[in-house]
Amino acid sequence: MNRPIRHIAVFSGLLILALLLQTTWLQFKRTDELANHEKNTRVKIAAYAHPRGNIIVGGQPITGSVETDSTYYKYKRTFKDGAMYAPITGYSSQTYGATHLEALNNKLLSGTDDRLFLQNTLDLFTGDDRRGGDVVTTIDPKAQKAAYQGLGDRTGAVVAIDPSTGRILALASTPSYDPSVFAGSTKKDGEAWDRLQKDKRKPMDNRALKLTYAPGSTFKVITAAAALEHGLYQDINAPTKSPDPWTMPETRVPLPNQDKSAPCENASLNVAMQHSCNNVYGKVSVDLGKEKMRQTAEKFGFNDPKVDTPTRAVESVFPAEMDRPQTAMSGIGQSSVRATPLQIAMMTAAIANDGKLMKPYMVDSLRDPDLDTLEKFEPKEMSQAVSEDTAKKVQQMMEDTAEKGTGRPGRISGVTVGAKTGTAQRGVNNNLPPLAWFISYAKQGDGSPVAVAVMIDPDDSIPRDQISGGGLAGPIAKKVMQAVLKK
């Protein structure tokens, strides 16, 4: 063989080798990437070629599939009580993709999960269509309904948790949307999507998990826990050295109390909780210092960017860098302290559970089309936020607040309730309507089966003097607790 022919043969061999390597790379290394690529329409067409598995609440499906007359997509997703459950299910759209449980469990729901391989293989021989598996949630349908209907047409969020397990019993956000209206690929679906995107009230925002707010005076629960845990105070009924008015350090600005007639001067931690005394809890925060306050807040879940339910919540923040006046404001849930309603519910649940913070979760199990369990989720401890002794002292304070303080709207006859209100200022010079918060737990027998956080974001239609955590959010928390207790 002469040299030119030999060179051509070698070059051709290298080209064939490169082609084989590229094919191998595509088949084995990039298969998942290409299969899930947003422009790979064949995968999407296959996903909607048969009915999806369902998301289950209270033993019943809250999703479904319906045949369409589309050229490419045989089925589209439907949702029962879509707006009520949208913060949980998310959406599954032929055009706009999927979110939340629909996205996180897409392979199982669409029937392509590796764990369904045997089932899919048998279906090939029997001629049956591919079937998706189901996602069984922890949501209590009565509690969810109480939360959603309680919020009504107001902007806000509710999260209810079983303190002993971390099971999420309710997760509502308003205003909401029906995922069914844009589940298809028609012009009508596109118009519905565009309307939602342009809506100034932002109904597609998940306020329970994906937005943070100033927690206001609900955060005094953590400030009280920090004071007890770090030994600043031991007796919740002993007077504190807290003048009223109290001027924040390095300033000439007194920290005012909302109720000017409240007995806040040198009030005990307990009395200050009942009357939500800013002077007491602002001074406690300064006396402890930002590091001890931050350490305690982090044990309750703040500054953790990976709180998955399994839908990931955004990070709730207790800042590391603050001056002393900011530290004072942080002790009453203002300054740069930010929290999701989920985080505030976690805080409440940890106190109700004697200081033990359980990981919040809203998927109980995954099952195959024949209803056999593929995966079961068990309770997991996140941290011992505070000692049992500290938690019980804070419980006493919250129960006294519900009985004879600002938490009275949460009381339930024959049931021990612990509660705390919060009104969080917003805007430049407090020019925006304040947020209204209410947190509570209910005891029944041994321990508490439910802890609730309610946040209302009022608009200008509500007079400022009528905005309060007890007035706006308290009745909602009570109804959610009653829904769980009735079981």
Q: Known catalytic residues?
A: 217
Give the 3-state secondary structure of the chain. CCHHHHHHHHHHHHHHHHHHHHHHHHHHHCHHHHHCCCCCHHHHHHHCCCCCCCEEECCEECEEEEECCCCCCCEEEEECCHHHHHHHHCCEECCCEECHHHHHCHHHHHCCCHHHHHHHHHHHHHCCCCCCCEEEECCCHHHHHHHHHHHCCCCEEEEEECCCCCEEEEEEEECCCCHHHHCCCCHHHHHHHHHHHHCCCCCCCCCCCCCCECCHHHHHHHHHHHHHHCCCCCCCCCCCCCCCCCECCCCCCECCCCCCCCCCCCCCHHHHHHHCCHHHHHHHHHHHCHHHHHHHHHHCCCCCCCCECCCECCCCECCCCCCHHHHHHHCCCCCCCEECHHHHHHHHHHHHCCCEEECCECEEEEECCCCCEEEECCCCEEEECCCHHHHHHHHHHHHHHHHHCCCHHHCECCEEEEEEEEEEEECHHHCEEEEEEEEEEEECCCCCCEEEEEEECCCCCCCHHHCCHHHHHHHHHHHHHHHHHCC
Dist. CA 408–CA 192, nearest whole Å = 43
